[in-house]
Each structure stands twice: as C-alpha cells, then as structure tokens.
Chain A
Amino acid sequence: MMLNASGCLDALVAPDVARQLDAFVTKTITPLPREGNAPPRIAETAHGMLNAIGLANPGRERFLHDHLPRLRGLGIPVWVSVGGFCAADYADTCAALDGVAAIELNLSCPNVDEAADGAAEIVAACREATAIPLYAKLSAAHPDVGAVALAVAEAGADGLSLINTLRGTALDPRTLEPVLARTTGGLSGPSLKPVALAAVHACYAATGLPIVGMGGVATGQDALELIACGARDVALGTILFSDPGAPARVRAELADALNRLGVASPDDVFARAHHVEKHPHTRRKVTA
C-alpha cells in the first residue's frame, strides 16, 4: 500500500495526486488551530531539504466539521495524523474521530517547542479512547528507536510509521545566518533513506508490527528496500514536491524492480533483510 507522508500533500488542493495513493494521510491535527512558524520555513540542502512548518493546521473542530467531510468525499481511505502537547490532547482527538481508516500519532515533530508526554503514555491514552487502528510515528533521532517501538507496541499501537524528519540547520553562505526563521527545521529527502532503512529494520526486529516506511523514497528501488527491511506499506514525502506523479511512477518502478528480482509480489521480499545471517555471532534476535 502506498501513502503520502503527513504534511507533504493537501488532498483538497491536489485531489488528482491523492487519488494515486491507496490512502491519504492528513497534516497533523492539533486541538487548537495553529498558524505554523514564521517564514522562511523551507530551505534546500545537499541531498535534502529542511522544513519548519510548525504543524500549521485548522484545529480539531474545524477539521472535523469542514475538512474531514470533504476528504471523505474524495473516495480514498483517510488516515488522520494526530498531534498535541500532552496525552489528553491526542486522546481527545482520537475519541472525536470516526469513519477514518487509521490514526497516525505524531510523536516526533521536530518543529514545535512544547514537550510531549512519553510516547507510550500517549499511545496508551489513545488506545483507551478509540478502536481505530493506531500507528505511532516515531523519530529515528532516538538512540534506541527499537526500544521506543517496543514500548508503544506494549501500550497498544497497531503499527508504526517510520521515520519523521531529523532536526537540522542551514546557513545562508553569504551572511552565515540561519536560513529558516526558526533556525532549525526537519531534514527530509534522499539523505534520510539510510536512516529510515535502519529504523524500519530495528523496529520490525523489535516488534514485528506493521510498519509504514518513509524517508527519502524517490524510486521503486527505495520502496523495495524499505519493504525488505520490514515495511508493510510505504509513504512518499519530499518527492511529492518535485514530482506530483511520483505515486504512480514509484508504483510502476516497484513492479519492475520485483520483476527483475523474479518475484511476483512485495510479500516475496518482505523483511528479506532480516533473513540473511552475514554475521551470525553478532546478529540481533528477531522477536517477530
């Protein structure tokens, strides 16, 4: 299944792009409306880009009454990305949601100051609030993302979304001042792919949960490698900015890549990166 990374597509403005996907993931919804950060908010870097949008969104009430009905009208499954600044923020939004395919809990935005409660605490509160499938979106910045994944799995997460952007800074070469008004932003694009592969590999090994893999996916080969690391589904982020036709293209390229490997389906390569024991004496135990 192919999705967009949260915050990388507005399905209401670009429905033709959204319809290339198997499901649309919204921008993160917070209890109250947020304008987002001051401009400049984005900068291109070597092999990536930084964004510091800052969870701009219409807020829970307007989303539920205005945006969500229109999103449902597009005829594709909707995943709602939920954010907040304490466990109750997340749980209240989860409790208010109905008729969506899944909820992605954004536990990892690098562009807001407010500290969230612990990931497992938030997931547990949301689990009590809803029966809708819950995906926990984690940051690869944590030194042991596999341990975080295990904690949210035990708290009731049905799946994982990996990875979010990583915090970075870019300077204007002429002035040596930060390009972004906020100084830091989240790094995305091709430079993230090895980090995403490692996080997906670690979290699949730790939990065996379904994973939406994302981070630097620009080609079918990138998607294939995430699947081989343990991603059931793949999401496109930054590539959507330069290529609104990317979902259809990546899907076709993935089919070609599978053909070249002589296999019929992504299931045939799923988690294959876990099966080869190159160094049996150092291999981490697969609990899945």
Chain B
Amino acid sequence: MSRRERRSVVGAEPVGPYTLLRLARGGLEPGAPGQFFMLEAPGRLLPRALSLCLAPPRELAFLVDPVGPGTEALCRLEPGQAIHVFGPLGNGYRLDVERPLLVGGGIGIAPLPYLAEALPGAPCILGFRTERHAEAAALLPGAEVVVDPALVTELVDPSRDVLACGPEPMLRAVAERCPSAQLAWEAPMACGYGACYGCAVEIDGELKRLCVEGPVLEARRTTVHVGTREIAA
C-alpha cells in the first residue's frame, strides 16, 4: 500500500559519484524490488522517481546520481532534514525465476541490492563508465564488474532469467539477447501514480504510462526511447 509521509534523513553517504540517501522508514512499506518512490526534491516543483536500493531495518535507502537540479538537491540533504516520500509505486520484478542473473549498468544498479536480498545467491554483473562509478559495486558484494570500454551485455548468458536495470542502450542490447528478460526502465515522471500521463512510452505497440504498466517490463514489451536524464529543463 503506497503512502506519502514526511521522512527524516538518516544519512547521505557518497558511493563513488553517487549518494546513498537513507531515510527513516516510518509507516512506509519498502514494497517489492524494482518498485519506486517519489522523493520531494527541495526547491523543485516536482518530486523525483527513485527505485528503492536497500531496506535496512527502519530505513529506506536510495542511490542518487546528481544529474540535474532535483537529484543534486537530494544529494545535498543532510541528516535531520526531512522530505516527503510517496510510495512504493509501480510494478517490481517477478521473483518466480529459476536461474536469475542480475544485470546493472551505471545508476541502473540502484534497485539491484534490494533485489539481490530477495534472490539470495543470484549471480550479478555490473557495468560502469569509469573506475570511480564502479565504486558503487560495493553495494553488491561478489558481483562481477566491467568498466568501459568493456560492455556488461557481452557477459550476459541468454539461457538465464535476466533481471536488469540500466541505460536505454544497455537495456535494448539485453532485450535483443534475452526477449523474456525483466527490464526496469525510466521515463520523465511528474507524479508516479498515473495522474500526469507524462511517462507514456510505447508498450505493447501503443503509448502507455510506464508508472502504471512498469517500470519493470518483460523485454519484448517495450524499447522506451526517451533519453532525457532528469525532468528539469
């Protein structure tokens, strides 16, 4: 059940170029891996959609990439400050898979730590642009890590049940090799609960709201093609 509450910041720690933002959980449920929350971005009109990264006891933790004014404001939060948080929202990963393989690229590794807890022992491969970005692999102990120019998609075993999140080109490459993979996409979202119609992308051959249908979708259902990095102009 999704709820909106004002939650205190417990910690905001750098993880490579990213920030792990930890909030007091309060009455919010963590939801299923791959689901997301709308986080108030201080000083901005619209909240930002972030998938849950980790659910420590009494906390919710989000991995934030400062790519625009909203995510930068989230990264500047300090313990004791509070923001409104709404969620969990959308549809997460199906966990009824026999041979899971977690695949993440860049900030797209965000939902994988929480997913890995739900699929203990599942192998994980991660790709990053730089060694500094790759420091975030510490959130997934035991993961195999590649850094550009090596591509994570070259390591994907198509016989496995792939659960992935990452940039659009990576997801499309995974989709070509694994049509049944579960892929977590992103698109500009103002609301996260089906009100704004801003996140409509082509799903099953027609424009549908990603926040209602996804964000996790079977690979053959969509290729998204949005390309913007933050909702702010």
A residues at B contact (CB < 8 Å): 7-10, 13-14, 17, 27, 35-36, 38-45, 47-51, 53, 56, 170-173, 179, 189-190, 238, 240-245
The majority secondary structure among interface residues of chain A is loop
Residues of chain B lying within 8 A (CB to CB) of residue A49: 45-46, 190
Residues of B in contact, count (CB < 8 Å): 34
Minimal beta-carbon separation of A149 from chain B (angstroms): 28
B188 interface hit (Cβ, 8 Å): yes
**Judging by beta carbons under 8 Å apart, are B195 and A14 in contact?**
yes
**Judging by beta carbons under 8 Å apart, are B198 and A242 in contact?**
no
Minimal beta-carbon separation of B82 from chain A (angstroms): 15
Bound Cα distance from A173 to B69, whole angstroms:
12
**Judging by beta carbons under 8 Å apart, are B197 and A53 in contact?**
yes
Given contacts A240-B191, A245-B4, contact A41 B47 (CB under 8 A): no
Smallest CB gap from A8: residue in B: B195
Q: Binary interface profile of B, 182-213, with partner A (CB < 8 Å = 1, else 0)?
A: 00000111110111111111000011000010
**Judging by beta carbons under 8 Å apart, are B190 and A42 in contact?**
yes
**Judging by beta carbons under 8 Å apart, are A44 and B45 in contact?**
yes
**Judging by beta carbons under 8 Å apart, are B191 and A39 in contact?**
no
Smallest CB gap from B48: residue in A: A44
Given contacts A35-B207, A40-B226, A42-B188, contact A242 B45 (CB under 8 A): yes
B58 interface hit (Cβ, 8 Å): no
Bound Cα distance from A77 to B37, whole angstroms:
30
Minimal beta-carbon separation of A32 from chain B (angstroms): 14
Q: Name the one of A9, A39, A44, A238 contacting B201, with C-beta atoms under 8 angstroms.
A: A39
Residue contacts A-B, CB under 8 angstroms, 9 given: A14-B195, A39-B200, A39-B226, A44-B46, A47-B45, A51-B196, A51-B197, A53-B198, A241-B190
Residues of chain B lying within 8 A (CB to CB) of residue A36: 197, 200, 207
Of A35, A41, A170, A172, the most chain B CB neighbours within 10 A belong to: A41
